[in-house]
C-alpha cells in the first residue's frame, strides 16, 4: 500500500493563484475540470516520483487546471452516500467480493481488468483521502466507519456487507474540499470560471475532425474566460478531461445545472468516439419533481419504498435484497408500479400525474435519522415541506450518472477502437464520470463513482507524470501552438457571431466601448426580445423533455425514432439560430449556455443512436422491444463517433463469465 | 381543498449591472505576451485586490420582473424561469440548486442568503414587513387579490411575456374559487461586501484568498501507526467519534460567503480576514489529527484576525450549513485570549 506524503512536508505550501494573469507558451499538463477526478489527477501528478524529483531540483512542470466553476462548486460536492472500499472496518470484507459486486452490478458489461484494479486499490484510495483530511464518520475505536449500500455483498452475493465509507451523508463535500485543500497546499494553479470550448488534436484538418487513420496527438485547448469574455488558446503537451457527466440531458435529474457533458462533446467534436453512451443510471429516489437526490443511505438505514396501496413492493421484485437491490432494478420496479396504476401524485401538485411512489422513513428512529441522514432530512423539509419522521415522501427516478463516456485505458489514456484494436491519442487522458473504463459496465454500483474518480483520476495523474519527460522537449510545441491559435481564432469568430445579435443598429463590443458604457435597451434586451423565438435555456428544457420521454429508465425503437426526429428536425435548427441577447462579454452566461445546449444535443444524438443499436436489455438500458439480455450478440461495448454507426469492442472478461443477474 | 398549492404573484426587483467594455479589456490582449518562467515562481499578490474594493464602472439600473409562482418555490427557481421565459441576459451564479455547492449567495431584501434555500413566500413576507407596504403578503383575501391582479404596476422596466400573461389569466380564473396570493416585491442584490461583476454576480475571490492564506489543509507528521514489532498496522489516522464531533460541523462549511456578507465589519470594508476564513482555521484547530495548532493560532491572532471581530453575531443567522459562526468566533477569541495570558505568565 502506498501512502501519500503530505503537502506541507514537502515545504512547498503556497498560496494558490486565483486565475492566471498570463499564460505559458505551452503547458506540460492542462487538466479540464476540478471535481474529484480533476483534482485527484493534479495531486497524482504532483505526488508522483517524477514531479517530486523535478521540484526538488527546482524544476516545476507547467500545470494548469481549467474549470468552468470555482472548484469548490463542483458537483462532486453533492455526493451523499459513500465511497466503496473493502476496508473491513465494520465487518469482514474482501476486495474479491467488491470486484464481483462491481461486475455483477454492471450486468457483466464491466471490463474485468479495470474492475479488479478498482476493487484492489480502493482501500488505499480511501485511506489516502482520510490522510488528506476527509472527516469520515468513525467507529467507536476511531477507524473509518462503513455502512451498507445497495449491491454490496459478502461471499459473492450471499449477504449484505458494510462496505461504504461515509461522512454522515456528505461524503462528496468532504472529498471535494479535502482534495482542493491539498491542491492549495501544493500551489496548484487554477483558471476558474473558464469554459473550455475546443479540444485541439494535432492531426486536425480545417474541419474540427481529426483524421484518425493517422496518429493523433493533443495540441491543446481553447478556453473562454467567462469573467472577461476573452477566448484563450492554451497549448499543451498533455490534456486530461475530467468534466463530469451529462445528467442535464434529462428534465428530471439529480445533476447540477453545469453537468452538460462538455468533455464528452469536446471529444466528439474532435472526431473521437464515445463508449457505451446508451447506459444512463437513474437513481430511484429523486425527490418528487425536483429531481434532487435522496441518498440511498436512507434505504440503507431502513427506509422502505411503498406504492399507492401502501405495499412495500420491492420484495416482489427483488426478494433477497428488497429496497437495497441495484439502482437500475429499483428504478425499473418503481416504473412498473407507476405503469400498473399504483403510483402517487407529488403532494405539491396533487392534481398532477401519479408518477411517484412513497419513500417511507417513518420506521427509522428519529434521533438516528437526524444523526445519520441530516442532509436527506433537510432536503425533504426544505424542498417538499414534509417531515420524514411523520410523512411519506414522494420519490421518482432521477437521471443520475452516465456510465459511458470517453474511452480510456486503466492508465486513463484516451483511445479509439479501430480495426479491432485500441489506438491511443498521444497526450490525451480522461478521468471520472466523463470517461469510460469501463468499471461501471451497464450500471454503476453505488459508492463506485467517487472511487472511480479519485482512484483512476490519480492513476491518470501518475501516468501523465511518467510521460512528462518523454513529451517534455519542445518538438511539436510550435506546431501545437499554431494549431491551438488557429482554433481560437475560429472560436472568436463564432463568439462574435453570437454577440452580434439582431438588427443593424446593435453595436459590437468595440463599438460599445467607443460609444460609452450604456448598452442599448438598458444593457439587455430583456424587454424587447419577445420577437425572439428562442433562447438557450428554453431549448435546454425542451431537450430534457424529448430525452425524458424517449429513453428515461426504458425505451423502444419507436420512441427513439421520434426523439431523433425531434432532435434533428426541430431542436438542432433552432440551436443553430441561437444568439446572445446581450452584447456584453462580461459574464455573458447566455454564450456558454448556447455552447452547452449544443454539446448536449450532440450527446443526445449519440445516446439515442447507441440505444437504438443495442437490441437487448442490460443494466440501466431497458429496451421494451428487446426485453432480454443477449450475451451472444451484445457482450460488447458500443463505440460511437459523430455521424457514424457504432462499432463494437469486446468486453474484457478475466475471472467471471456472465451469469444471470438476480437480486 | 384550497390555497395550499395555489399560485401567487410576485415581483422580483433586481439590481442590475453591466460593466463597461474597457474593464473587460484590461488583461493583455495576447495571453502569450507576458509570461513567467514558472507558474509556481511568481506571486501576483492576490491580497492586494481585497484591501481597496473597487467600484467598477458601468451601467447600473433596477429591473422588475413579475411572475406567477408557488409560494414554496425558491428564489432561484424564479430566476431560472426569468432566464428561460423572459430575460436570458440576467446573470447570477447557480449550480446544484439545493444548497450544497454554495454558488448562489446574494442579498434578498438586504439579507445575505442562498437563493436556492430561500422560498418566495418566506421572503415576500419579510419584504412587506420591512417596507410597511400595502401590497405585501395577503394570505386568503380573494377580493383584494383580484384587484391586485387586475392592476398594471408602474415599474421602471417591466418584463412580461405572453406566457406569463397566460399564467396571469389562469390565475384570475382560479382566484375566484381559490383566492390569489399577492406576494408583493422581493428585492435582490449581489452579496454585500464584494465587488459586483455583473448583475447578481459578485467577485468572492477576496474571501477565497483569505481562506487559502490560513493554510486550510490538514497538517500532520505523516507517521504511520505501528505494532510493537514495528510493523505498520493502521493506515488511517485514528479519530474517535467525540473527536470528530469537535469539528465535524465546521467542516461542512461550503464557502458561500453568506456570513461574510452579513458581517458589518467585513462587509463594511474594514480590515478583517472575515468569518469564513476563521471558520476554516477553526476547522483544523479543532481536528485532533492536525498538528499545526500553534501556527494556526498565530495566524489568526492579529489585528485583522480575531481581534477585528466585534461579536455582532450577524454571521450566524443565515449560515446555510447551520454553523453558529458567531459562537465559533467567540470560542476562538477566548482561546486566543487564554493563549496570550499563558504567554505572559
Q: How many residues does chain B have?
A: 345
A227 contacts chain B (CB < 8 A): yes
Interface membership of A146 toward B (CB under 8 Å): no
Whether pLDDT at A207 is above 60: no
Residues A570 and A630 in one domain: yes
Report pLDDT for B235: 83
> CB contact, 8 Å: A304 with chain B?
no
Contact A135 B236 (CB under 8 A): no
Q: Is residue A515 part of a domain?
A: no
CATH class of B3-19+44-190: alpha beta
Same domain membership, residue A395 and residue A291 = yes
Nearest by CB to residue A130, choosing from B70, B201, B236, is B236
The pLDDT value recorded for residue B148 is 37
In CATH terms, the fold of domain B204-344 is: Fumarate Reductase Iron-sulfur Protein; Chain B, domain 2 (1.10.1060)
Are A238 and A224 contained in the same domain? yes
Does any CB of chain B come closer than 8 Å to the CB of residue A260?
no
**Is the residue at A139 inside a domain?**
yes
Q: Residues A600, A540: contact at Cβ < 8 Å?
A: yes
- Contact at CB, B95 and A526, closer than 8 angstroms: no
Q: Is residue A473's pLDDT more than 80? A: no
A134 plus A206 within the same structural domain = no
A233: which chain B residues are within 8 Å (Cβ-Cβ)?
A: 31
Catalytic residue among A116, A148, A163, A327: A327
Q: Assess whether pLDDT exceeds 70 at residue A506.
A: no
Q: Which residues of B touch A534 (CB under 8 A)?
A: none
- Which range of A57-61, A338-342, B225-229 scores highest in mean pLDDT? It is A338-342
- Residue for grid cell 476563521: B278
Q: Does A17 touch chain B (CB under 8 A)?
A: yes
Residue B46, chain A, CB below 8 Å: the answer is yes
- Going from the C-alpha of A591 to that of each of A95, A197, A568, B31, B67, the distances in angstroms are 47, 11, 22, 21, 25
List the single best residue of A47, A259, A524 to mutate versus B (max B Cβ within 10 A). Answer: A524
Q: Tell me the three state secondary structure of residue A237.
A: strand
Same domain for A228 and A160? no
DSSP category for residue A341: T
Per-residue pLDDT reduced to its tens digit, A169-180: 899 999 999 999
Indicate if A554 belongs to the active site: no
Instruction: Report, as an integer, the average pLDDT of A237-248.
Output: 97
pLDDT tens by residue, A251-266? 999 999 999 999 999 9
Question: Of A55 and A396, which is predicted with more confidence?
Answer: A396
User: Is residue A67 located within the same domain as residue A213?
Assistant: yes
pLDDT at A65 over 90: yes
Does residue A58 or residue A445 have the better pLDDT? Answer: A445
Q: Identify the CATH number of the domain in which residue A580 sits.
A: 1.20.58.100
- Among the listed ranges A16-20, A131-135, A182-186, A542-546, which one has the minimum average pLDDT value? A16-20
Q: Minimal Cα distance from A527: which residue of B?
A: B159
Query: Among all residues of chain B, which has the CA nearest to that of A170?
Result: B252
Residue A347's pLDDT band, with cuts at 50, 70 and 90, is confident
Please tell me the predicted confidence (pLDDT) of residue B56: 74
Residue owning grid cell 481562506: B211
Q: Is B245 exposed, middle or buried (0-12, 13-18, 19+ CB in 10 A)?
A: exposed
In a domain, A13, yes or no: no
- DSSP-assigned beta bridge partners for residue A54: none
What ipTM was reported for this prediction? 0.90
Domain annotation covers residue A287: yes
Q: Which domain holds residue A209?
A: 23-75+188-278+459-482
DSSP for B90-149?
Answer: -----SSSSSSS---EEEETTEEEEGGG-BHHHHHHHHHHHHT-SSS--SS-HHHHHHHH
Chain A residues lying within 8 Å of B219, measured CB to CB: 6, 8
- Residues A195 and A65 placed together within one structural domain of the fold: yes
Q: C-alpha cell of A541?
A: 428544457
A116: CATH: 3.50.50.60
With beta carbons under 8 A apart, name residues in chain B contacting A170.
252
CA distance B344 to chain A (A): 30
Q: In DSSP terms, which residues pair with B189 in a beta bridge?
A: B107
pLDDT of residue A501: 62
Q: How many domains does chain A have?
A: 4
- What is the spatial distance between Cα B282 and Cα B315, in angstroms, rounded to a whole number? 15
Residue, of A351 and A614, whose pLDDT is higher: A614
Looking at chain A from residue 98 to 127, which residues have their Cβ under 8 Å from any Cβ of chain B? 127
Q: Which residues of B touch A17 (CB under 8 A)?
A: 39, 44, 46
pLDDT at A450: 98
Q: Is B36 on the interface with A (CB under 8 A)?
A: yes
Residue A230 sits at the chain B interface (C-beta within 8 Å): yes
User: CATH 3.10.20.30 in chain B, residues?
Assistant: 3-19+44-190
- In this structure, are A474 and A453 located in the same domain? no
Residue written as grid cell 472577461: A228
- In chain B, the percentage of residues whose pLDDT exceeds 70 is 69
Crossing angle of helices A49-56/A36-47, nearest 10°? 60
Radius of gyration of chain B (CA): 25
Report the C-alpha gap between A423 and A419 in whole angstroms. 9
pLDDT in tens, A273-313: 999 999 999 999 999 878 898 988 899 899 999 999 999 99
- The DSSP call for residue A280 is E
CA–CA gap between residue A584 and residue A7 (Å, rounded): 41
A253: closest CA of chain B, how far (Å):
11
CA distance B333 to chain A (A): 25
Which among A354, A376, A399 is the end of a domain? A399
- Least reliable range by pLDDT among A198-202, A373-377, A519-523, A540-544: A519-523
The predicted structure's pLDDT at residue B24: 44
- Between A522 and A549, the higher pLDDT residue: A549
Mean pLDDT of A583-610: 97
- For residues A538 and A645, membership in a common domain is answered with yes
pLDDT at residue A400 greater than cutoff 90: yes
Alpha-carbon gap, residue B263 to B111, rounded angstroms: 11
CATH of the domain at A288: 3.90.700.10
- A17 in any annotated domain: no
- A283 interfacial to chain B (CB closer than 8 Å): no
Chain B residues within an 8 Å CB radius of A141: 238, 240
Is residue A364 located within the same domain as residue A391? yes
- The reply to whether A310 and A253 lie within a common domain is no
> Alpha-carbon distance A430 to A423, whole Å?
15
Identify from A14, A39, A66, A73 which residue to disrupt to test chain B contact, counting B C-beta atoms within 10 A and taking the largest count: A73
Contact B72 A513 (CB under 8 A): no
What is the C-alpha to C-alpha distance for residues A478 and A604, in angstroms, rounded to an integer? 36
| Cα→Cα distances B243→A76, A386, B283, B285, Å | 26, 33, 12, 12
- Same domain, yes or no: A376 and A304: yes
**Positions of chain B with pLDDT lower than 50, given as ranges:** 1-3, 23-52, 126-177
Task: Give contacts of B72 with chain A, Cβ < 8 Å.
Answer: 348, 385
Closest-CA distance, B236 to chain A, in angstroms, reads: 5
Longest dimension (CA), chain A: 74
pLDDT at site A209:
54
Looking at chain B, which residues constitute the CATH 1.10.1060.10 domain(s)? 204-344
Closest CA to A436 of A627, A261, A191, A663: A261
Asked if residue B182 lies in contact with residue B138, where contact means CB atoms within 8 angstroms, the answer is yes
Amino acid at each position: 500500500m502506498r501512502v501519500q506524503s503530505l503537502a506541507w512536508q514537502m515545504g512547498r505550501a503556497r498560496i494558490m493563484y486565483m486565475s492566471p494573469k498570463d499564460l505559458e507558451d505551452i503547458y506540460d499538463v492542462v487538466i479540464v475540470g476540478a471535481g474529484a477526478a480533476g483534482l485527484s489527477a493534479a495531486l497524482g501528478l504532483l505526488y508522483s516520483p517524477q514531479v517530486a524529483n523535478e521540484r526538488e531540483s527546482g524544476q516545476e512542470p507547467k500545470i494548469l487546471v481549467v474549470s468552468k466553476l470555482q472548484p469548490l462548486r463542483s458537483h462532486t460536492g453533492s455526493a451523499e452516500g459513500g465511497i466503496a472500499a473493502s476496508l473491513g472496518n465494520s465487518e469482514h470484507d474482501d476486495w474479491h467480493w467488491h470486484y464481483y459486486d462491481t461486475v455483477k452490478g454492471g450486468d457483466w458489461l464491466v471490463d474485468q481488468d479495470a474492475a479488479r484494479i478498482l476493487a484492489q486499490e480502493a482501500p488505499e484510495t480511501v485511506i489516502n483521502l482520510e490522510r488528506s483530511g476527509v472527516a469520515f464518520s468513525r467507529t467507536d475505536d476511531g477507524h473509518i466507519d462503513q455502512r451498507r449500500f445497495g449491491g454490496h455483498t459478502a461471499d459473492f452475493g450471499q449477504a449484505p456487507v458494510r462496505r461504504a465509507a461515509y461522512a454522515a451523508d456528505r461524503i462528496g463535500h468532504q472529498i471535494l474540499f479535502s482534495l482542493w485543500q491539498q491542491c492549495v497546499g501544493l500551489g496548484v494553479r487554477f483558471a476558474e470560471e473558464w469554459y473550455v470550448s475546443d479540444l485541439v488534436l494535432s492531426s486536425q484538418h480545417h474541419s474540427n475532425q481529426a483524421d484518425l487513420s493517422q496518429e493523433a496527438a493533443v495540441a491543446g485547448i481553447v478556453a473562454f474566460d467567462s469573467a472577461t469574455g476573452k477566448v484563450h488558446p492554451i497549448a499543451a503537451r498533455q490534456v486530461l478531461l475530467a468534466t463530469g457527466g451529462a445528467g442535464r440531458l434529462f428534465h428530471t435529474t439529480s445533476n447540477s445545472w453545469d453537468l452538460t457533458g462538455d468533455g464528452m462533446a469536446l471529444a466528439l467534436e474532435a472526431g473521437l468516439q464515445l463508449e457505451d453512451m446508451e447506459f444512463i443510471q437513474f437513481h430511484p429516489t429523486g425527490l418528487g419533481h425536483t429531481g434532487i437526490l435522496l441518498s440511498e443511505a436512507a434505504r440503507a438505514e431502513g427506509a422502505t419504498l411503498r406504492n399507492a396501496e401502501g405495499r412495500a413492493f420491492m420484495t416482489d421484485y427483488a426478494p433477497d435484497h428488497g429496497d437495497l437491490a441495484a439502482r437500475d432494478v429499483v428504478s425499473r420496479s418503481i416504473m412498473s408500479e407507476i405503469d400498473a396504476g399504483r403510483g402517487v401524485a407529488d403532494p405539491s401538485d396533487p392534481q398532477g400525474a401519479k408518477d411517484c411512489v412513497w419513500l417511507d422513513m417513518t420506521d427509522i428512529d428519529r434521533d438516528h435519522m437526524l444523526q445519520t441522514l441530516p442532509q436527506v432530512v433537510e432536503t425533504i423539509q426544505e424542498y417538499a415541506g414534509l417531515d420524514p419522521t411523520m410523512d411519506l415522501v414522494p420519490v421518482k427516478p432521477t437521471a443520475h450518472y452516465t456510465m459511458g463516456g470517453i474511452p480510456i485505458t486503466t492508465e486513463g489514456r484516451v483511445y479509439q477502437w479501430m480495426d479491432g484494436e485500441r489506438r491511443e491519442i498521444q497526450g490525451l487522458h480522461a478521468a471520472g464520470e466523463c470517461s469510460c473504463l469501463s468499471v461501471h459496465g451497464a450500471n454503476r454500483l453505488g459508492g463506485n463513482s467517487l472511487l472511480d474518480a479519485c482512484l483512476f483520476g490519480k492513476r491518470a495523474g501518475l501516468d501523465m507524470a511518467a510521460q512528462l519527460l518523454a513529451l517534455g522537449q519542445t518538438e511539436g510545441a510550435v506546431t501545437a501552438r499554431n494549431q491551438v491559435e488557429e482554433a481560437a481564432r475560429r472560436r472568436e469568430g463564432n463568439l462574435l457571431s453570437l454577440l452580434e445579435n439582431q438588427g443593424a443598429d446593435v453595436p459590437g463590443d468595440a463599438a460599445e466601448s467607443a460609444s460609452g458604457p450604456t448598452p442599448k435597451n438598458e444593457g439587455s434586451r430583456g424587454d424587447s426580445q419577445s420577437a425572439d423565438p428562442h433562447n438557450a435555456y428554453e431549448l435546454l428544457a425542451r431537450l430534457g423533455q424529448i430525452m425524458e420521454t424517449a429513453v428515461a429508465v426504458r425505451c423502444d425503437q419507436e420512441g427513439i425514432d421520434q426523439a431523433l426526429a425531434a432532435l434533428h428536425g426541430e431542436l438542432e435548427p433552432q440551436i443553430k439560430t441561437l444568439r446572445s441577447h446581450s452584447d456584453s462579454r462580461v459574464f455573458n452566461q447566455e454564450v456558454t449556455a448556447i455552447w452547452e445546449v449544443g454539446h448536449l444535443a450532440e450527446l443526445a444524438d449519440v445516446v439515442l443512436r447507441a440505444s437504438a443499436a443495442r437490441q437487448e436489455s442490460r443494466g440501466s438500458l431497458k429496451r421494451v422491444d428487446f426485453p432480454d439480455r443477449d450475451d451472444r450478440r451484445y457482450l460488447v461495448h458500443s463505440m460511437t463517433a459523430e455521424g457514424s454507426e457504432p462499432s463494437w469492442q469486446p468486453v474484457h472478461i478475466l475471472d467471471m463469465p456472465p451469469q444471470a443477474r438476480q437480486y | 381543498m384550497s390555497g395550499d398549492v395555489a399560485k401567487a404573484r410576485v415581483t422580483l426587483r433586481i439590481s442590475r449591472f453591466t460593466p463597461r467594455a474597457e474593464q473587460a479589456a484590461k488583461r493583455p490582449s495576447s495571453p502569450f505576451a507576458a509570461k513567467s518562467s514558472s507558474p509556481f515562481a511568481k506571486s501576483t499578490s492576490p491580497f492586494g485586490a481585497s484591501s481597496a474594493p473597487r467600484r467598477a464602472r458601468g451601467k447600473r439600473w433596477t429591473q422588475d420582473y413579475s411572475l406567477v409562482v408557488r409560494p414554496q418555490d425558491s428564489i432561484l427557481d424564479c430566476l431560472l424561469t426569468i432566464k428561460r421565459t423572459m430575460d436570458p441576459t440576467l446573470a447570477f451564479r447557480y449550480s446544484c440548486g439545493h444548497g450544497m455547492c454554495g454558488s448562489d449567495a446574494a442579498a434578498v431584501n438586504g439579507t445575505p442568503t442562498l437563493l436556492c434555500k430561500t422560498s418566495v413566500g418566506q421572503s415576500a413576507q419579510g419584504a412587506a414587513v420591512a417596507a410597511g407596504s400595502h401590497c405585501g403578503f395577503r394570505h386568503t383575501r380573494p377580493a383584494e387579490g383580484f384587484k391586485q391582479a387586475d392592476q398594471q404596476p408602474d415599474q421602471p422596466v417591466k418584463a412580461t411575456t405572453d406566457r406569463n400573461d397566460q399564467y396571469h389569466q389562469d390565475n384570475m380564473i382560479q382566484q375566484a374559487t381559490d383566492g390569489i396570493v399577492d406576494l408583493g416585491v422581493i428585492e435582490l442584490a449581489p452579496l454585500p461586501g464584494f465587488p459586483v461583476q455583473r448583475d447578481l454576480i459578485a467577485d468572492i475571490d477576496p474571501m477565497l484568498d483569505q481562506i487559502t492564506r490560513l493554510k486550510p489543509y490538514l497538517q500532520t507528521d505523516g507517521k504511520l501507526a505501528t505494532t510493537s514489532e514495528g510493523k505498520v498496522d493502521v493506515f488511517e489516522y485514528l479519530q474517535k467519534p467525540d473527536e470528530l464531533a469537535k469539528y465535524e460541523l465546521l467542516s461542512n462549511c461550503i464557502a458561500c460567503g453568506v456570513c461574510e456578507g452579513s458581517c458589518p465589519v467585513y462587509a463594511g470594508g474594514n480590515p478583517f480576514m472575515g468569518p469564513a476564513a476563521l471558520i476554516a482555521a477553526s476547522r483544523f484547530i479543532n481536528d485532533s489529527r492536525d498538528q499545526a495548532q500553534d501556527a494556526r493560532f498565530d495566524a489568526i491572532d492579529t489585528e485583522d484576525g480575531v481581534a477585528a471581530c466585534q461579536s455582532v453575531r450577524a454571521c450566524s443567522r443565515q449560515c446555510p450549513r447551520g454553523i453558529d459562526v458567531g459562537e465559533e468566533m467567540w470560542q476562538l477569541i477566548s482561546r486566543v485570549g487564554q493563549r496570550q495570558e499563558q504567554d505572559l505568565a
